[in-house]
Amino acid sequence: MKRILVTGGDGLLAHALREIAPRDFEMMFLGRAEFDLARPEVMARQLAALRPHLVINTAAYNQVDRCEIERDPSWAVNATGPEALAQLCAARDIRLVHYGTDYVFDGARKTPYSETDPPNPLNHYAAGKLAGERGVLRASPQHLVLRTSWLFGWHPTRTKTFVHTILKTAREGRPLKATTDQASVPTFAPDLAQWTLELIRLGAGGLFHAVNDEGVSRFDWAKIILEEAVQRRLLPAAPPVEPVLSSFFNSAMRRPEYTVLSNRKLSERLGRPAGSWRAGLRKMLARMR
């Protein structure tokens, strides 16, 4: 039986992996207290004790605005930590799966980015994530990096995805605003979990863009969430969403305007389409009822 260690064990993606864990995989889930990416000596000790065949690193410092302020802690988790973990795994002949972000691109183009397009991060979060994925890929050709975007899904306690925020704001009767100048691909966490396990079985290594089909703006994504919620009687009616530009929120961090990723390479390797986030949204809302 293949032993798999999952870091970030209480997060959204780890929960999705836990729910679909196959019987022929022994999956162990560790949170930050047990497996801290900022402490290589702790990681080495856990790898020696647990002796996994494979590590899936779902841990990240993903509060993107705070990364501009907490630069050293975020860099330790997003950049040097994954690189150290990748080297520890390579030395023990352990495969590593790591997750990157669409934010590594600057958004200057308006057609989907492929794995061969050159990154150009605009902020500290993106720079750290890019350094992390490069460190992982340098450590071993067997390691796998999956770039993803706008992750969402049901979780028993984690309720801070964009879907949760839109529904909570609507229920409280507060004004809804969403940006028209940010576009990417919402990605359903259970789909990403499923692709991860399939790519592990296929022995895939290297870099893949792992997102659902169809890019969308934050504004249109918000409207679709509300429409689907009304159809499932989670809301009595869809309130209006005011279109705004990113500058409205006065963020100190530069955000790329367009980071839609192409999932062609992923679909070809899986031998099937990656599937639509719309179907994932309906599944999530059904569970929220």
Domains with residue ranges and CATH for the chain: 2-152+185-213+260-272 (3.40.50.720)
Secondary structure element (H or E) that encloses residue 178, with its range: strand 176-179
Helices assigned H by DSSP within 203-270: 218-231, 264-270
Per-residue confidence band for 251, with pLDDT thresholds at 50, 70 and 90: confident
The rounded percent of the chain whose pLDDT value lies above 70 is: 100
DSSP lists the bridge partners of residue 145 as 98, 207
The yes-or-no verdict on residue 43 having pLDDT over 90 is yes
CB 67, CB 61: distance < 8 Å? yes
- pLDDT at res. 253: 82
Q: Quick: pLDDT tens for 111-140.
A: 999 999 999 999 999 999 999 999 999 999
Per-residue confidence band for 63, with pLDDT thresholds at 50, 70 and 90: confident
The yes-or-no verdict on residue 175 having pLDDT over 90 is yes
d(CA 16, CA 41): 28
Q: Which residue numbers are catalytic?
A: 125
d(CA 21, CA 36): 23
> What is the mean pLDDT of the segment spanning 8-27?
95
Identity of residue 18: R
d(CA 219, CA 242): 8
Nearest to 150 by CA among 103, 195, 220: 103
Nearest to 189 by CA among 126, 277, 113: 277
pTM of the model: 0.96
